[in-house]
A and B are shown apart, each in its own frame.
Chain A
Amino acid sequence: MSDVTQTRHVPDRLNSRAARIFKSWEALLLAVAIAIFVINSFASPYFLSAWNLSDATFNFTEKAMIAFAMALLIISGEIDLSVASIIALASTAMGLALQYGAGTSELVIIGLTVGVLCGAFNGFFVTVLGLPSIVVTIGTMSLFRGISFIILGDDAFRGYPSSFSWFGQGYIYWVFTVEMLFFVIIAIIYGVLLHKTNFGRAVYAIGNNPTAALFSGIRVDRVKFILFLLTGLMSGIAAVCLTSRLGSTRPSIATGMELEVVTMVVLGGVNILGGSGTIPGVVIAAFVMGLVTFGLGLLNVPGIVMSIFIGLLLIGVIALPRLWAMVAARRKS
């Protein structure tokens, strides 16, 4: 686009579908995921093993379940920083129920119910009282985990029934875990919900312009409230899986997970300011994050150093396209 004649050129058709897909964020992300996979398989001889790769999925399945709901919430222009604390509270509630002799099905029901109630609590403050979601969820982040600390102190709940361990430790077939099955089902449900239903269109509309969405007949508050409920529910499901996998509950469970969930969503190409993003993007981002942390783990990199990579990834994926655009703009002028 350097000479004058080209800038005046008006295209008589849009880019083909294939070209658009090829140039999309998701395609770039997929290339990154494949590159990481290849690098990892050269870096460590233990990487290319079905069982190791199966173990690696635990790195992201629970976070990704929440990330799908969070993606919708962020697309609608809100955020929920309390998800990790909801996990703590739901897990504590399950542990408490266990002390009173609850069985596996009751435990799951209690975990999910607490998740939904926490989501409703957030949703009430944001939609009914009209408060900014970032402050509300910073508050509930302290409140929910605080309640766990009040109940548990520095103690822990243990002794979950063996049938309960199916959720976090079970296998469906060969190396495919129960959590992986949940991950796939939830991904499909959210993909359909966001991309194929009126509800999904409403979520985009609200994120782009809430006032216009309101005037075009979308019940903005109701949609947002449902999104908070969904995020709470997903946190409840993640709490069931995580508690089942760890086999115990401490009030510090899942500390800092909200950051990784938000990173996953943003890495997946969801605009943090709302209005755009896709579920396939989040799915690939989940794999990228899982592969990075697993690969580094095989190379004996400690967890806290991995968090540097996650932090750099979060800032890098947003900064690089913008830097690129700035450079391109400068070259053009």
Chain B
Amino acid sequence: MTRLIPVRETILGGAILVLLLLISSRFADFVAPSNLANVFNDTAPLIILALGQMVVILTRCIDLSVAANLALTGMAVAMINVAMPGLPIPVIIAIAVLLGAIMGAINGVLVWKLAIPPIVVTLGTMTIFRGIIFLISDGKWVNSHEMSPAFTDFPRMVLLGLPVLSWAAIITIVLFGIMMARTQFGRSIFAVGGNPHAAVYTGIDVGKTQFWAFVVSGALAGLTGYLWVSRFAVAYVDIAGGFELEVVAACVIGGISIAGGIGSVGGAVLGAIFLGVVKNALPVVNISPFWQLAISGSAILIAVAFNARAGRNKGRIILKEAEATQ
């Protein structure tokens, strides 16, 4: 079973390579290292959010409020920056992560203490967070000339050849790789998603683990909120509208089972990169960007059908006829 997981990632990695080869056969510039670095940088927010979403989905939950959380945090830090331009960037980032984590904790408490289904909770908080952005901003935009130069320059700052935004994604990937494989929290996430009853008997608090998964997802959404607003140098009510679907899509394409317990950091990252490559390749190969929504929708369907096929053989089938007809 452990052998199957790398296979799935190899297939996805292969699909991305084939895609790049197809594009490069007609547009060689697309695969130039500098352009690939740009594509990665453009995909960085999606990678960060997909990793947070992965943790939530692994525990049998779903977080549809990430994009609204991102937008609310982004608006909050942008307004803080306008009010106090002197505030150093590390403080801004700390505020963003904290705000995001608090919003994640609200989701988590509702799921943990009141046992409300996660999809209901996060559908609700998604609209509430968006509404709050309107309330605090009065529907107005925060534009680039109102933000301090330090605020907008940070994610673009180049370190060792890559912008800070890319490094943020790389660091998150490394931290998650360690967390999921080497820490008690990481293992308990798999245990909770794989079999909640068994997890209880091994001494894991299922609700509490789900709570922390939401906090992690929220904190990353908060961090991305700052990075997003400062990178595009604008904050308004509708930023990242519908982005939560793209995040879930990245996870599903990356082979993370919506039923929980199955998935890997590599899968989530590759899923995000796949969507990033598609998105960046469309204008290059002269396809209208309006195709993107339909393509990511199809990619979700194909990926989930494919993963279900791959995963079905390995399970023990006790009631064969019942399974077959269901």
Task: Tell me if B294 and A221 are in contact (CB < 8 A).
Answer: no
Most buried by A among B62, B237, B248, B293: B293
Asked whether A90 is an interface residue with its Cβ less than 8 Å from the other chain, the reply is: no
Tell me how far the C-beta of B201 lies from the nearest C-beta in chain A, rounded to whole angstroms. 23
Answer yes or no: B25 CB below 8 A from chain A CBs. Answer: no
A146 near B292 with CB under 8 A, answer yes
Instruction: Assess whether A262 is interfacial by the CB under 8 Å rule.
Output: yes
Asked if B131 and A315 make an inter-chain contact with CB atoms under 8 angstroms apart, the answer reads no
Tell me, in angstroms, the Cα distance from A130 to B117 when the chains sit together.
22
A311 touches B322 (CB 8 A): no
- Name which residue of chain A comes closest to B113, CB basis: A326
Distance in angstroms from B75 CB to nearest chain A CB is 13
* A276 CB to nearest B CB, Å: 14
The residue that A314 contacts in the complex, of B120, B301, B304, B325, with Cβ under 8 A, is: B120
Asked if B114 and A220 make an inter-chain contact with CB atoms under 8 angstroms apart, the answer reads: no
Partner of A266, one of B120, B258, B290: B120
- Which of A129, A215, A256, A318 counts the most chain B CB atoms within 10 A? A318
CA A188 to CA B326, docked complex, whole Å? 31
Q: Chain A's interface: helix, strand, loop or mixed, by majority?
A: helix
Within 8 A of B (CB), among A305-323: 305, 307-308, 310-312, 314-315, 318-319, 322-323
Cα A263 to Cα B127 with chains together (Å): 11
**B245 in the interface, Cβ–Cβ < 8 Å?**
yes
Which among A139, A140, A147, A304 has the greatest number of chain B C-beta atoms within 10 A?
Answer: A139
Asked, given contacts A134-B119, A322-B115, whether A307 binds B125 with beta carbons under 8 Å apart, the answer is no
Contact residues in B for A214 (Cβ distance below 8 Å) = 322, 325-326
CB distance from A10 to the nearest CB of B (A): 30
Q: Chain B residues with Cβ under 8 A from A149's Cβ?
A: 290-291, 293-294
A315 to B294, Cβ gap below 8 A?
no
Q: How far is the CB of A190 from chain B (nearest CB, A)?
A: 22
A52 proximal to B (CB < 8 A): no
- Chain B's nearest CB lies how many Å from the CB of A106? 25
Judge whether A314 and B308 touch: CB under 8 Å.
no
In the complex, chain A residues whose CB is within 8 Å of the CB of B135: 305, 308
Q: State A302–B326 Cα separation when bound (angstroms).
A: 46
Decide: A143 and B297 in contact? CB cutoff 8 A. yes
B2 at the interface (CB under 8 A from A): no
Q: A138-B248, A139-B297, A214-B322 are in contact. Are A259 and B110 (CB under 8 A)?
A: no
* Cβ A272 vs Cβ B245 within 8 A: no
Is A150 a contact of B110 with CB atoms below 8 Å?
Answer: no
Give the most central of A138, A140, A266: most B CB within 10 Å.
A138
> A310 to B131, alpha carbons, bound, how many Å?
10
User: For the complex, what is the distance from the CA of A263 to the CA of B114, rounded to whole Å?
Assistant: 18
| Contact-size category for B | 35 or more
The smallest beta-carbon distance between B69 and chain A, in angstroms, is 13
Neighbour of B123 across the interface among A130, A143, A262, A322, CB < 8 A: A262
A259 touches B131 (CB 8 A): no
A312-B128, A314-B124 as given contacts; A319 in contact with B301, CB under 8 Å: no
Q: Do the beta carbons of B125 and A311 come within 8 Å of each other?
A: yes
**B128, B297, B322: which contacts A146 (Cβ < 8 A)?**
B297
Flag whether B50 is at the interface (Cβ < 8 A). no
Contact between chains at B124 and A210 (CB < 8 Å): no
| Pair A307/B131 contact, Cβ less than 8 Å | yes
Residues of B within 8 A of A125 (CB): 301, 305
Whether A311 contacts B295 in the complex (CB less than 8 A), given A125-B301, A138-B248, A305-B131, comes out as no
- Chain A hits for B116, CB < 8 A: 315, 318-319, 322
Q: Is the CB–CB distance between B294 and A136 below 8 Å?
A: no
Whether B294 pairs with A146 at a CB distance below 8 angstroms is yes
Interface centre among B115, B119, B123, B245, by most chain A C-beta atoms within 10 angstroms, is B123
Which chain A residues border B291 with CB–CB below 8 Å? 146, 149-150
A17-41 vs B: 1/0 string, CB under 8 Å?
A: 0000000000000000000000000
Could you show 8 A-B contacts with beta carbons less than 8 Å apart? A125-B305, A135-B252, A146-B293, A146-B294, A150-B290, A314-B124, A315-B128, A318-B120
Interface residues, chain B, with chain A CB atoms under 8 Å away: 62, 110, 114-117, 119-121, 123-128, 130-132, 134-135, 139, 237, 245, 248-249, 252, 258-259, 288, 290-298, 300-301, 304-305, 308, 322, 325-326
Identify the A interface with B (CB < 8 A).
79, 125, 129-132, 134-136, 138-147, 149-150, 153-154, 210-211, 214-215, 220-221, 251, 256, 259, 262-263, 266, 272-273, 302, 304-305, 307-308, 310-312, 314-315, 318-319, 322-323
Q: A134-B62, A319-B110 are known contacts; what are 10 more A-B pairs with Cβ within 8 Å? A: A130-B326, A138-B248, A140-B301, A146-B292, A147-B294, A211-B326, A305-B131, A308-B127, A311-B128, A319-B116
